[in-house]
Structure 1
Amino acid sequence: MRSINNWRKSSYSGGGDGNNCVEVATRAARFAVRDTKAPARATLTFPPDAFAHFLEGVKSDACR
């Protein structure tokens, strides 16, 4: 698997070192997600439609 270099943190990641969230990167036809506290560990990848549904769920009250 090719290295992903365009990781982005959420603007909601908090102050300090901002390691209380996940990072997201895009690849050809996939989205990758990793834990900011353990970036060398496994990443999850999703096709665009599944990632869109995931984001909708995170933004809704259903996940609270």
Structure 2
Amino acid sequence: MSVQWRKSTHSGGADDQHCVELGRLAPEAGIGFRDSKDPDGGHLVLSGGQFAGLIEKIKRGSAR
């Protein structure tokens, strides 16, 4: 299965140090996160529930 990676709308230009991409992995495999400047460097995987929890923390400003 080929993953369709999507770059964050908050990722900036060439000088931006915080570029991230998301991709839905195989069904039930979770959501992948990777550095868009190093796409071959591997990725972090979160389950659907973990991803939803992360988004809620980001919205509340408590993702630290």
> Residues 10-41 of structure 1, C-alpha deviation per residue, up to 9 Å, x if partnerless?
11212458773210000212100001111101
1:24 is aligned, of 10, 22, 29, to 22
CA RMSD for the aligned pairs? 2.2
- How many pairs were matched up? 62
Tell me what 2:55 maps to: 55
Compute the TM-score of the two structures, normalised by the length of structure 2.
0.74
Distance 2:13 2:5 in 1: 18
1:11 is aligned, of 9, 12, 31, to 9
Q: CA deviation at 1:62?
A: 1.6
Identity of aligned residues (%): 35
